[in-house]
Structure 1
């Protein structure tokens, strides 16, 4: 059991260094001797730690050449990808990719929700838009973000597809952080309120295509605002 915890500790520290950019994608990581000396563990422990990261496609071992870091889009560990997204050095790429993922999932979910959403859920959407409007006027960023996230959560669950909400749930912390960063811009808040009103209206029509189009327009506006106000280009 103690040996297992050492393996996990070394694997986590290696991942920390990768996420921090010390070992960029495509770069060679130190060999077993250097790593065992750095972490004061046996070569066997290092070997098992590397195997752990290799199994998650974070590292790849090339015989006769060494061990290299894979690009994040090849990683198979959601936990590791979330760390790279939340703590990594390439925040711009991560922010854009997060919107791309939301666009794929939430546009379809909105189309499903149009045919399945209840009157109670529609009333909840209106209430959250109202909260977004009032907190925008009051300058209450935290409550604005909470209402924004809650609005989308209602739609995901109204789709009645269990997989959609489960797929996005692990991203909740990252989504909240990104929303706080972007929603700090007043113009972005104004656009968000307008788009959320349009989505609620589209869902009220019970037409899947109209609902999908409204959500897709929101995702495009979010991407445009990110590039204009946050990434500056």
Structure 2
């Protein structure tokens, strides 16, 4: 029961992030139906219902009988983590963004490996597979890259990591844009993500930390960011 409660809280945070940070759903928008959203999040429909109930209680979502679940019309999304949101909206160069990732993400991988639940590890693995498919098909992978790194940050169970996500998303967006012109980066991304996931699955936090650091340093080198 406690694990389910923790998972439903985490999923509620994920949906909040879709609204507040990713801007995937705006006030008044309808959420995907229960089957679609539970499949996307790799969770049971029961857990999804619990997460939605949390967000309804907190005034984020509202359920309209016979119509579905909607983001509340009067929801103010302008005040979301303002200091970091402002930073993410500034014109930041790629070097600064990647240095920021180098500071935070190896440690996030370390703690996520220690603390992730089995369902959280499963989601990280699934996003890693989706990234590989997108790269092989030469499709835009920005959204799934964000989900992969967000899932790792989420698995740290450190609430402050959520506040860093707008900046991390900015860094990932920049990296994907730059790597589209560099086949070596795409190839290395697949191999690096596999290495990160293997260490996480083995519950080897030091290995996961090193793999994430190697991943970011290699991207800096491949992209010629100095």
**By the TM > 0.5 criterion, same fold?**
yes
Tell me what 1:186 maps to: 183
- Decide whether aligned partners of structure 1 residues 167 and 132 sit closer, same or farther in structure 2, where only a CA change above 3 A counts: closer
**2:105 is the alignment partner of 1:145:** no
Rate the CA distance shift 1:215–1:156 in 2: closer, same or farther, 3 A: same
CA shift in 2, pair 1:118/1:183, >3 Å: farther
Partner of 2:193: 196
Structure 1 unaligned regions, length at least 5 = 1-75, 86-93
Q: Alpha carbon RMSD of aligned pairs, Å?
A: 2.3
Deviation at residue 204 of structure 1 after TM alignment: 1.0
CA contact (8 A) 2:127 2:148 kept: yes
Q: Determine the structure 2 residue equivalent to 1:101.
A: 100
Q: Is the 8 A contact 1:145 1:183 kept in 2?
A: no
Deviation at 1:186, TM superposition (A): 2.1
Aligned counterpart for 2:207 among listed residues 200, 207, 210 = 210
Q: What is the CA distance between 1:182 and its match in structure 2?
A: 1.9
Q: Distance in 1 between matches of 2:108 and 2:84?
A: 24
Q: Which residue of 2 aligns with 1:90?
A: none
CA contact (8 A) 2:131 2:144 kept: yes
Residue segments in structure 2 that go unaligned for 5+ positions in a row: 1-82
Report how many residues are paired: 144
Aligned residues of 2:112 and 2:155 also touching (Cα < 8 A): yes
Are 1:103 and 1:216, in contact at CA under 8 Å, matched by a contact in 2? yes
Equivalents in 1 of 2:118, 2:87: separation in Å?
A: 39
Q: How far apart in 1 are the matches of 2:90 and 2:195? A: 34
| TM-score, normalising length: structure 2 | 0.57
Task: Label 1:195 to 1:174 Cα distance change in 2 as closer, same or farther (>3 A).
Answer: closer
Following TM superposition, by how much is the alpha carbon of 1:136 offset from its aligned partner in structure 2, in angstroms? 1.7
Higher helix residue share = 1
Equivalents in 2 of 1:118, 1:133: separation in Å? Answer: 23
